[in-house]
Amino acid sequence: MFILRYSTTSPFVRKVSVTIIECGLENQVERELTNPWAPETDLPATNPLGKVPALTLENEQVLFDSPVICEFLDSLSSLPRLFPENSKERWSALMQQALGDGMMEAAVGRLLESRRPAQEQSQAAITRYAAAVRRSLDHLDSNTQNTANGFNIGQLTIACALEYLDFRFPMENWRDGRPNLTKWHESVASRPSLQQTVPYDWSVRINGILSIPLVIDVKSPITSKRKLNLFIKAKQQLATKTH
Ligand SMILES: N[C@@H](CCC(=O)N[C@@H](CS)C(=O)NCC(=O)O)C(=O)O
């Protein structure tokens, strides 16, 4: 059994979750809910960068950074490969993955910047992040050959990036003025791997008080003891925001 440290909102974690489903590996991965922003988190003991996703293998080796984890998982699967072997297709898929990862980094960076106290926020940084995402969306809309066929790691990452924009910036509909990208997204959005991994905030406010749902993740194959431990751990982390 592998252990995936995850958050329910991270687009990088989502890439891994989609890969797990695409590769048919659901029963080989146990999931551990982790808030990387909690001051007391032990995540750095697993990933010195303090980031999710991080995957611990059976021999205790840890893999981190979503491209590494996804390629490892893909190498275990006998299903059609997400990382093409043929050189031309491979570089194209890896470039698309880099573009999608970059869009996620810019979108997450913008969100974090906008959550800083008003007097500490940099409008210049927010504008720069937003422009990077906008240019990438325009590039994808006018280069549809990059997204056209199949569902490799590049297309998987772009889909996660687009849906992260829907999740965090729904008021700025990326579809506006981008018919080609919209059509492409519609063609992949019904894949079960995407439908089953829609991001959600596990912290909710009830009467203004930060709380968490009792069922942490119904899709996780985790034991009730582990679930209880996660619940306690999560309760201890309530004061810290996730993204
Ligand atoms: N390049 C990494 C990015 C991972 C990442 O930025 N994860 C965020 C959550 S979306 C995180 O854990 N951030 C915590 C931090 O930066 O301290 C990947 O592809 O896995």
Task: Locate 11 and state its tokens.
Answer: 């687009």
pLDDT, residue 201, reads 82
Which of 52, 103, 167, 241 has the most ligand 1 atoms within 8 A of CB, as the residue to mutate? 52
Q: Which residue puts its alpha carbon closest to atom 13 of ligand 1?
A: 51
Fold of 2-80+201-236: Glutaredoxin (3.40.30)
Distance CA 164, CA 168 (A): 6
Is residue 112 within a helix (H) or strand (E), and if so which, with residue range? helix 87-114
Report the amino acid identity of residue 44: P
The band of 204, judged by pLDDT with boundaries at 50, 70 and 90, is low
Measure 50 CA to ligand 1 centroid, in angstroms: 8
Beta carbons of 90 and 81 less than 8 angstroms apart = no
149: confidence class by pLDDT, cuts 50, 70, 90: confident
Pocket of ligand 1, beta carbon within 6 A: 10, 12, 36, 50-53, 65-66, 101, 108
The number of the ligand 1 atom at minimal distance from the alpha carbon of 9 is 10
Q: Which residues contact 113 (CB under 8 A, 6 or more apart)?
A: 121, 122, 125, 126, 129
Q: Shortest CA distance to 100 belongs to which of 139, 51, 142, 149?
A: 139
Task: Give the bridge partners for 32, in sequence order.
Answer: 5
With residue 209 as reference, give the H or E element that holds it: strand 209-211
Residue 65 CA, closest ligand 1 atom number: 20
Can the peptide bond before residue 179 be classed as cis, meaning omega within 30 degrees of 0? no
Distance from Cα 179 to the centre of ligand 1, integer Å: 30
Please tell me the predicted confidence (pLDDT) of residue 79. 78
- pLDDT (0 to 100) of residue 223: 44
Note the pLDDT tens digit of each residue in 62-115.
999 999 999 999 999 887 789 999 888 999 999 999 999 999 999 999 999 999
Locate the ligand 1 atom nearest the alpha carbon of residue 67 and give its number: 19
CA of 107 to the centre of ligand 1 (A): 12
Contact (Cβ atoms closer than 8 angstroms) between residue 47 and residue 62: yes
Q: Which two tokens stand for residue 97?
A: 């993955």
Q: What pLDDT is attached to residue 123?
A: 97
CA 83 to chain centre: 18
Beta bridge partners of 4: 31, 55
pLDDT at 240 > cutoff 70: no
Best residue among 49, 51, 103 to mutate for probing ligand 1's pocket (most ligand atoms within 8 Å of CB) is 51
Is 87-195 CATH 1.20.1050.10? yes
Q: Where are the domains of the chain?
A: 2-80+201-236, 87-195
